[in-house]
Every structure is written in C-alpha cells, then in structure tokens.
Structure 1
C-alpha cells in the first residue's frame, strides 16, 4: 500500500488550486482524472472583479484578485511559467445611460479600484458609445495552465489518468485500492451527482457554449472585448467568443440555438466576416446562493467536498482552496457563507 496525505478526485480549477496548497505545504497526494475536458478546461479564463451587466462587484473580489496573482507567481516557481495574461476587459456601452451608470458606480467605494472613469474608443469593432475598462481584470492562459500543471504532476507521478471507482473506496479504513490516505477531496463539478457520499450536494448544471472563430479583420491585441459575451485572441490566428448560460438545454451535445446566439452576438459589434472553426461546451456547477460549497462529510470525517465554483471558477477555486486547506489542517472554521453546513 502507498501512503498519501490526500487523494484529490477531479482535475478542474478546484482540484488543481487545492493541489497547489498541498505542494506549498509539502503534503503527499495523487489526483484522479477522468481524462476528458472539464468545464474548467474549456472556460474563457476571464479574471474579472465586476459583474458587467449591472456594474456591481461581488463578495471578497479584491481579496480574491490579490490572492490569485500571488498564487500564480508561486505556481510559476515550479512550472516555470506565469499563466496570467494582462488583457484588461473593455466593456462596450449600449447607450449613454450605461455610460452614466458606470460613472456613478465608479464612485462607489467597492468599485472605485475597478471601474476606470476614462472611456476609450476601440478600433475595428462597433462601439458608438465607447467602452469602459475594468481595472485589475485579466485572463488566465487556460490551455497553458492545465497543460503545465498536468505535466508537472505527471513528472512527479501524482497524476492518475483514470476514472475514480467509488466501489473501491473504503471510507472507514481510509483506503482506496492500493492507497492509504489521510483525507480525500472530491472536486468533481457536476460529476458529484454520481458520488454516493456527496450526491445530495445542491449544485445545478449551467451549460455554457463557446466558439473559436477566425476573423477577417483582427481586433486590437492585449485586450478582451465584452458586450454580450467575451471576445479575445487565443492562438493560431483564432479568437475565443463566449460563453452562453443555459439551465434548460442540458443534453450532452452541441445546441445549435446557442451557437446561433453566439454568432448573432458577435455580429452585433464585429462588422466584418468571420468563420466559426470550433464549438465547445461544458457544464458549470452552480449554486442558488452563488457561493462555493466546501465541507466535510457528516459521517466520514476525512471525506471532503469542494464544488459549486460556477462562472468564477478561477477566483473561487484559488481563494477558497486556502480556506479548505486551513479548515482541514489547522481546524480553522470555514466561513458560513461557503460551508456545506449552511444547507443542513
């Protein structure tokens, strides 16, 4: 039998950012991955402290932004690359009323560091009422992040490309196949519904589509454009545009209606020809109160869940991985707003 401090089940943002906490603290662990792309791996990677529909912010936004930047520098120390892309969001205004609302909200203490008061005009795209820049916004190099961390973990023989088999888990003896573990953490996204220990966790699927397009006229580099959805350059001359939100059409194949919605949304502000080269979708695990779900199993004290990251998987996954680690290792109570116990 091999002794490990942790088994992590799931290879999305929750699992990898928690793995980072374990690496920092010299804990032994293995990660089980199904080997298929999760919602995290097809996500836009947007790092955004502002809700761009209403120009509001969210709980612990500044703390999460600061913690993420620190964590990515720490990850760089062992992968050799910083995956932060300094590509600020420029929100295209629909009309003068949005401009006025932006300026009004920029005086708010919670938003003063995020909403730039100086409007700009973007080249190539339609922005008759200019655009507002979101300070401290950026993107994660999603492909680089997952490729780099998977490679690092593979080299250390900590990455197991295999579907986790719940029938092989003996929670009472803390064993799984040939592993003795101290703790096991389930970070499975919507896969948690198949987990016999945490199947009652209250997460709901939110299906998101995104497209990769080839533009006939390139947009300015090093920015992310937002109107209905996000548009930014990726690689090989392609651009990412997405993603949609759908709580109704939850089948496991591409929804052409969502693709049409994206094509229409891009056409509204991009006046030139473009071609759709690729379509992807994933299921975000969302929670009614828009807070992550973190906690310990009521009957098996070394089984934990980390789920419900929603559309802010990067910020939530990074910030609350530390909260979970401190809860397990230091017995520091979880904030009641993210604790699994809030549903009891």
Structure 2
C-alpha cells in the first residue's frame, strides 16, 4: 500500500493550484484526472480585478492579483515557463455616460490602481466612444498552464488518469483502493453533485459558450478587447470570443442561441468578415454570494471540499488554495466569507 499526505480529486484550477501548494511545501500527493476537459480548461483565462459591467472591484482583488503573479513565478521554477500573458483589457465604451462613470470610479480609492484615466482609441474595431484600459489585468495561457502542469505531474508520478470511485473510499480507515492518505481534497466543480460526501453544497451550474474565429483583419496584438464579451488572439491564428452566461439551458451540447449571441456580439464592434471555426462550452460552478466554498466534512475530518470558484476561477483557485492548505496544516481558520459552514 502506498502512503500519501494528500489525494486531490479534480484537475481544474482548484485542483492544480492546490497541488502547487503541496509541491511548494514538499507534501506527497496524487491527483485524479478523468482526462475530460474541465470548465477550467476551456475558460478564457482572463485575470481581471474589475467587474466590467458596473466598473466596481471585488473582495481582496489586489491581494489576489499579487498572489497569482507570485504563484506563477513559483510554478515557473519547476515547469520552466511563466504562463502569464501581459495583455491588458480594453473595455469599449457604449456611450458617453459610460465614459463619465469610468472617470468618476477611477478616482475611487478601491479602483484608482485598476482604472486608467486615459482613454484610448483602437484600430480595426469600432470604438466611437474610445476604450478604458484596466491596469493590472492580464490573461493566463490556459493551454500552456494545463499542458505544462500535467506534464510535470505525470513525470513525477503525481497524476492518476482515472475516474475516482467513491465506493472504493473508506474515510474511517483513510484508505482508497491501495492508497493510504492523510487528507482528500475534492475539487470537482459541478462533478461534486455526484459526490456522496459533499453533494448537498450549494453550487449551481452556469453554462458558458465561446467561439474561436478566423478574422479577416487582425486586431491589435497584446491586448484583450471587451465589449459584451472578450476577444483576443489564441496564438494559433484564431481568436477567442466569449463567454456567455446561462443558468437555464443546461443540456450537454452546443446551444445555437448562445452561438448566435456571440456572433452578433462580435459583429457589433468588428466590422469585417469572420468565420466561426470552433465552439466550446463548459459549466462553471457558481455560488449565490459569488465566493468559493471551502471546508471540512462534518463527520470525516480527513475529507475537504474546494469548489464554487465561478467565473474568477484563476484568482479564486490560486488565492484560496493557500487558505485551505493553512487551514488543514496549521489550523488557521478559514474566512467566514468562503467557509463551507456559512450556509448552515
């Protein structure tokens, strides 16, 4: 029987950023990956400290941005690559009122480091009312991040490419099949609904579609354009445009109305021809108060959940992986705002 400190179930942002905490702290572990593309793996990878509908920020935004940049440098030490793409978001204004609101908010203490006071005009796309630049915004090279980390995990025998079978888990004995463990972290996204130990947690699926398009006229490089959705180059000759939010149409196939919404949204500000080459979708695990759900099982002290990262999966996954690690290893209490117990 093999002994490990941790078993991680799930291979999205929550699972991989928690794995990073274990690597950094010399803990032994295995991570279960079914090999299906998670919502994290088809995400845009946007790193954004601003809610771009209302020009507001959110809890711990600066701390999360700083912690992510530091963590990606640490990850580079063993994968050989930093997956941060410094491509700031340029938000296209719909009208003069949005310009005025942006300027007003940019003087706000919470937003002064995020909202640029200088408006910019972009080539190629329609931006009659100019654009506002979000300072400190960026993107994650999503494909590079997952490819690089999976490669490292596999090379070091941390990766188990199979579905986790709950029926083979004996939490009272801390045994799963031929593994003896100290703790299990369930990072399963919407898969948690099938987990008999945490199926009651209040995460709701939010279906997001994006398209990959071939543009007849390239847009400026090293920026991310946002109007209704995000547009940026993928590095393969195609551009990513998305993603939608849908809490109603939750079937497991492409929703043509979402594709139409994306095509119309892109046509609003991109005045040239483009072709849709690819459509993808995933189910974000969201929580009504927009904060993650982290905590320990009420009966089994060796079972934990890390879920509900929502649309800010990169920032939430990275930052709160440390909080969960400290909670387990050092007994540092979790913030009430993210604790599993807050809904009881």
TM bin (shorter chain): over 0.9
Q: CA deviation at 1:343?
A: 1.4
Counterpart residue number, 2:137: 137
Q: Secondary structure at the match of 1:244?
A: coil
Distance in 2, Cα, partners of 1:169 & 1:259: 41
Counterpart residue number, 2:122: 122
Structural mapping, 1:257-296, within 5 Å: 257-296=257-296
Residue 101 of structure 2 is aligned to residue 101 of structure 1: yes
Q: CA deviation at 1:235?
A: 2.2
Counterpart residue number, 1:233: 233
Distance in 2, Cα, partners of 1:235 & 1:61: 28
Counterpart residue number, 1:331: 331
Distance in 1, Cα, partners of 2:159 & 2:42: 20
Residue 224 of structure 2 is aligned to residue 224 of structure 1: yes
Q: CA deviation at 1:263?
A: 0.1
Counterpart residue number, 1:24: 24
Distance in 2, Cα, partners of 1:284 & 1:296: 22
Counterpart residue number, 2:307: 307
Q: Secondary structure at the match of 2:276?
A: strand
Structural mapping, 1:116-195, within 5 Å: 116-195=116-195
Structural mapping, 1:71-82, within 5 Å: 71-82=71-82
Q: Secondary structure at the match of 1:116?
A: strand
Distance in 1, Cα, partners of 2:5 & 2:216: 52
Counterpart residue number, 2:215: 215
Distance in 1, Cα, partners of 2:343 & 2:90: 38
Q: CA deviation at 1:236?
A: 2.1
Counterpart residue number, 1:34: 34
Residue 110 of structure 2 is aligned to residue 110 of structure 1: yes
- The TM-score with structure 1 as length reference comes to 1.00
Q: Which runs of 5+ in 2 are unaligned?
A: none
Distance in 2, Cα, partners of 1:186 & 1:240: 30
Q: What is the CA deviation profile of residues 253-276 of structure 1, one whole-angstrom value per residue up to 9, with x for unaligned ones?
A: 000000000000000000000000
Q: Secondary structure at the match of 2:249?
A: coil
Counterpart residue number, 2:59: 59
Runs of 4+ in 1 over 4 A off after TM superposition: none
Q: What is the CA deviation profile of residues 16-51 of structure 1, one whole-angstrom value per residue up to 9, with x for unaligned ones?
A: 000000000000000001110000000000000000
Q: What is the CA deviation profile of residues 133-168 of structure 1, one whole-angstrom value per residue up to 9, with x for unaligned ones?
A: 000000000000000000000000110110000000
Q: Which runs of 5+ in 1 are unaligned?
A: none
Q: Secondary structure at the match of 2:117?
A: coil
Alignment length (residue pairs)? 344
Distance in 1, Cα, partners of 2:336 & 2:235: 41
Counterpart residue number, 1:206: 206
Structural mapping, 1:313-324, within 5 Å: 313-324=313-324
Counterpart residue number, 1:8: 8
Distance in 2, Cα, partners of 1:319 & 1:96: 36
Q: Secondary structure at the match of 1:185?
A: strand
Q: CA deviation at 1:215?
A: 0.1
Q: Secondary structure at the match of 2:279?
A: strand
Q: Secondary structure at the match of 2:217?
A: coil
Q: What is the CA deviation profile of residues 161-193 of structure 1, one whole-angstrom value per residue up to 9, with x for unaligned ones?
A: 100000000010000001000000000000000
Residue 245 of structure 2 is aligned to residue 245 of structure 1: yes
CA RMSD of aligned residues (A): 0.3
Distance in 1, Cα, partners of 2:120 & 2:340: 44
Q: What is the CA deviation profile of residues 217-265 of structure 1, one whole-angstrom value per residue up to 9, with x for unaligned ones?
A: 0000000000000000002210000000000000000000000000000
- The TM-score with structure 2 as length reference comes to 1.00
